[in-house]
Structure 1
Amino acid sequence: MDASHAVAAAPAAGDTASLSGLKFSKGHGTGNDFVLIADPNGALSLSPEQVAALCDRHRGIGGDGLIRAVPSRLVPEGQELLTVHPDAEWFMDYRNGDGSLSEMCGNGVRVFVHFLIAEGLVNLPAGESLVIGTRGGVKTIVRTAAGYAVDMGPWEFIFPGEATARAMDSLVSAEGLEVARPALSVSMGNPHTVVALAEMAELEATQLFTAPKVDPTPPHGTNVEFVVPSEPLVHEGTGTITMRVHERGVGETQSCGTGACAAAVAIRHWAGQGAPDAWNVHVPGGVVGVKFFVGPEGHEHVELSGPAVIVATGTLS
């Protein structure tokens, strides 16, 4: 029996035994890890409970999320993107570790493309680019000598108001911080709320076992980044910050690509005129690069760069 038939016959929403025979890979980008599944025929239907079971670190494979690689023409969101971007052949169907749908994931995009290459689904030599579809829109990825660089598209502030006058738009409370801290909410296709802390001791003391409280909360919830600017902030034209993150539907993760971008947006905004366009963002799982540039439509875009690794492949028993 093939994997698609096994899934179609699933007797229970959270029963991973019904997925017996399903091939998977495990990958990560700076410690942000994912279960990856190729579905070239668009035949696989995973319930939120099954996704959560596969991502369970004790009873499943384990991961911050699950990525299904499916042709864009076989999913409604992908079909819509193809009307404008006919070259976005593959769609990144991303789910959070609790099974909920998510717009996209910056680290996940790199791992997704690396997975497509490893599976022989695309050919992408170093220096060439690939366009993919996500629920957060179309993304363009360039394969580099050190990994992948992703055009994450334009960023924007989540709450209305004049950006030039904006210093904060919300307050964030978290265990380990004595008082609520001012924050700025940024959309990278998915929502983020960024808090600046004064020193590393505060960052280390912040407890992220439970979700921080954000007031007001963006309409679809939010990921929360706690950031410490380096001293000096800028060295040889590049800014450096250190970040921890609590992700919606997951908890604290080793890295968050869109969160790194949002953190750089906020710190650059607070730094004011003369702040650099290039940033190194240190996360528990490593370092990612963030760059700002003007996109073809005239809006400022963010590029995220970093490694991607496939650590294992297997078949569900």
Structure 2
Amino acid sequence: MPEIPFTKGHGTGNDFVIVADPDGEIDLSADQVAALCDRHFGIGADGLLRVVRSRAIDAGAAALAADPAAEWFMDYRNADGSVAEMCGNGVRVFARYLLDTGLATLDPGSTLPVGTRDGVKAVTRSDAGFEVDLGRWRAEAGDPLVRAKGLDIARPGMGVDLGNPHIVVALASDAELEGLDLGVIPVIDPAPAHGANVEFVVPSDPLVSGGIGRVRMRVFERGVGETLSCGTGTVAAALAVRSWAGQGAPDRWSVEVPGGTLGVRMVPGPDGERVALSGPATLVYSGTVTLA
């Protein structure tokens, strides 16, 4: 059985197994990914980041067409081995790995393009670590109901598409947020065709302080379960709360998750509003592992 090198990293507690495969020579099955991410019998992680050159993976062709400088592609897999479109925390950790291993450089004021299945994401340095331009977002039509263990009745949610699907549910208090049992999968009605991440949020009181909106969040990620943080989920939460707050709500948000705090900016653009996520990225340790 072959051995492969890996690195463990995280962004606000959202953790990943990172496997370098520059030339696309490692074909990890869903079962192998799930085994590596298993917290009892494997390394343990919320997902796996395969570091591969865009030219070496079929999904990278679109990234290179959009930006020929997008040399590296983030092949992201959920903890159950399923393929996912995007991961906001993962992009920052991916960038940290590229820089720390010398595979890429990022001078102050410059941008590092990273290919994903949701297009090319531009990474810059920030006071918090890195900021990722996640591009345009879209509010989904309808008012899905979400049932979760610990809530007395189903609650309506707002659908937000950030390249991957989210449903944001407002709760009344910190006690409701802390009382959720996210060891049980929330039920969405109607059920999205490809599932969705579900964010449960409580706006702070006061909602806005120093021109920055503030909110607390817990998240259930499809294909993973509850995680300490979800980057795109953080952005979805901020977008939803801003929408509910109405005219005059700020375009800068601080979102507290169990693993730390992330920043969200909404930026107008010629092709529509864009959103950016900022926060830390940490590499923890490296080793080798035997593939089953």
Q: With the length of structure 2 as denominator, give the TM-score of the two structures.
A: 0.97
Output aligned runs, 1:279-298, within 5 Å. Answer: 279-295=253-269, 297-298=270-271
**1:211 positional shift:** 1.2
Q: Give 3-state SS (helix, strand or coil) of 1:126's partner.
A: coil
> Partner residue of 1:267?
241
Aligned partner of 1:189: which letter? G
Output aligned runs, 1:195-274, within 5 Å. Answer: 195-274=169-248
> Partner residue of 1:181?
155
Larger Rg: 1
> Partner residue of 2:66?
84
Q: Give 3-state SS (helix, strand or coil) of 1:83's partner.
A: helix
> Partner residue of 1:300?
273
Distance 1:32 1:83 in 2: 30
> Partner residue of 1:194?
168
2:260 matches 1:277: no
Distance 2:171 2:53 in 1: 42
2:48 matches 1:30: no
| Sequence identity (%) | 59
Any conservation in 2 of the 1:147–1:305 contact (CA below 8 Å)? yes
Root-mean-square deviation (CA), in Å?
1.0
> Partner residue of 1:53?
35
**1:126 positional shift:** 3.4
Distance 1:230 1:28 in 2: 26
Distance 1:235 1:144 in 2: 21
Q: Give 3-state SS (helix, strand or coil) of 2:175's partner.
A: helix
Distance 1:84 1:313 in 2: 33
Aligned partner of 1:217: which letter? A
> Partner residue of 1:151?
133
Distance 2:242 2:77 in 1: 30
Distance 2:137 2:62 in 1: 22
**1:23 positional shift:** 0.6
Q: Which piece of structure 1 moves more, 229-238 or 124-133?
A: 124-133
**1:273 positional shift:** 0.3
Distance 2:5 2:133 in 1: 30
Q: Deviations over 1:28-61 (max 9, x none)?
A: 0000000001111110100000000000011111
Aligned partner of 1:315: which letter? T
Q: Give 3-state SS (helix, strand or coil) of 1:195's partner.
A: strand
Distance 2:226 2:235 in 1: 17
Distance 2:215 2:228 in 1: 15
Shift >3 Å, 4+ stretches? none
Q: Deviations over 1:214-261 (max 9, x none)?
A: 112222110000000000100111000000000000000000000000
Distance 1:177 1:64 in 2: 25
2:79 matches 1:106: no
Structure 1: gaps spanning 5 or more residues: 1-17, 160-167
> Partner residue of 2:2?
19
Q: With the length of structure 1 as denominator, give the TM-score of the two structures.
A: 0.90
2:116 matches 1:134: yes
Distance 1:143 1:173 in 2: 39
**1:119 positional shift:** 1.6
